[in-house]
Amino acid sequence: MTSPLNMWTARTDVLETTYGQARPENGWPIILLHGFPYDIHAYTEVVPILADAGARVVVPYLRGFGPTRFRFPDTPRSGQQAALGSDVIGLLDALQLDSAVLAGFDWAGCPPAWPLPCGPTGSRDWSP
């Protein structure tokens, strides 16, 4: 089995997002979004399976969870789906990912679809 997640921080326009990542760095990227009231540990059992299959597994703490922080005190605090979708776009940009498999459950089940219409250029290669 692959080793546990290594922890990193990505700076976006709104957040300093803490995320776990399982190597390989050059693997096909998958972003796993946790639901409410869970956190990245919801994916403990699936991360090694995906990483062993060659995935670059990224599991962020979503806004309001764990060590992820808003960068500015005047940023509106919102758990709306559009805000979460925007956070996903920001994370993808910060990680310089042009394409990724997006998966989530519960509260984070819908945000994987938000980047489709919200993408800045519409030029990304989104996986269904």
pLDDT tens digits, residue range 39-80? Answer: 999 999 999 999 999 999 999 999 999 999 999 999 989 887
Confidence band, pLDDT 50/70/90 cuts, at residue 123: very low
Question: Given this model, what pLDDT does residue 79 score?
Answer: 82
Question: Given this model, what pLDDT does residue 94 score?
Answer: 96
The CATH superfamily of 6-118 is Alpha/Beta hydrolase fold, catalytic domain (3.40.50.1820)
Q: Phi and psi dihedrals of 38, rounded to 5?
A: -85, -175
Residue 7 bridge partners (DSSP): 20
pTM: 0.84
Asked whether residue 18 carries a pLDDT value surpassing 80, the answer given is yes
74, 75, 125 from 20: Cα distances, Å: 27, 24, 23
Q: Phi and psi dihedrals of 22, rounded to 5?
A: -105, 135
